Amino acid sequence: MKLVDDNMRKLGLAIILAGLMIVILGVGKYFEESLRTATLTQNSMVEFKQYDILDGKIKYKLPSSWLTTIKENKDDKVVYLNEFVSDDANTYGSIELISSSEGVKATIDKCIADVESMGIKDYKKEKVKIDNIELDYIKYDLKSSKENVKRTYEYYVPYDDYVARITFIISDKKARENTQVVFENIVKTFSFEK
């Protein structure tokens, strides 16, 4: 009889723990979305404007207050180029769609070679998980003087025979703890037609 009581107690405890884990995961997802919204609101990014590439096969959004310029590029590899600057002029960068039958790795290797050719040896190449998709990103600092340092974040998003390179540049003095979270939230707006 004691064996049955012990097993029932263990089963009850296991059920309670499983229920608590489910509740914690559900609440965590809710807070993650709330944190994302709060981060964007804190950085004055409430309204977004949608942009389409390749006749709507690729869509993304940027804050509607940002100034953007879609440029014609003469490079055969760069299919699309949208340069942007934030309304406070603290953040700028570009969204490029690069034709790359070699894939993401070859594109990143070329970009790293370009970074190294500028004399930058201190960079981080990592993977980041955004909405269950593992993406590559490179982070490095551009220094024009000791006082003038700009942090650069480049995200690489693969799509068929293309790679979208999203580049954000922000002054080191203007960067905050949540700067990378803000940039990742913008990268999350990318959607692809299958």
- Count CB neighbours of 167 within 10 A: 18
Structure confidence at residue 7 (pLDDT)? 77
Structure confidence at residue 20 (pLDDT)? 80
29 and 81 share a domain? Answer: no
Q: CATH number of the domain at 54, please.
A: 3.40.1000.10
User: What does DSSP assign to residue 46?
Assistant: -
The pairing of strands 191-192 and 58-63 is: antiparallel
End-to-end CA distance of the chain: 60
75 and 13 share a domain? Answer: no
The predicted model scores a pTM of: 0.75
pLDDT in tens, 97-125: 998 888 888 889 998 998 899 888 889 99
87 and 33 share a domain? Answer: no
36 and 63 share a domain? Answer: no
Domain hosting 103: range is 46-192
63 and 4 share a domain? Answer: no
Torsion-angle region of 9 (φ positive above 0: left; ψ -120 to 50: alpha; else: beta): alpha
101 and 125 share a domain? Answer: yes
pLDDT in tens, 167-192: 999 988 888 777 888 888 889 889 88
What's the domain count of the chain?
2
Indicate the range of 17-26, 42-51, 115-124, 143-152 predicted with least confidence: 42-51
Residue 156: band (very low, low, confident or very high) from pLDDT cuts 50, 70, 90? very high
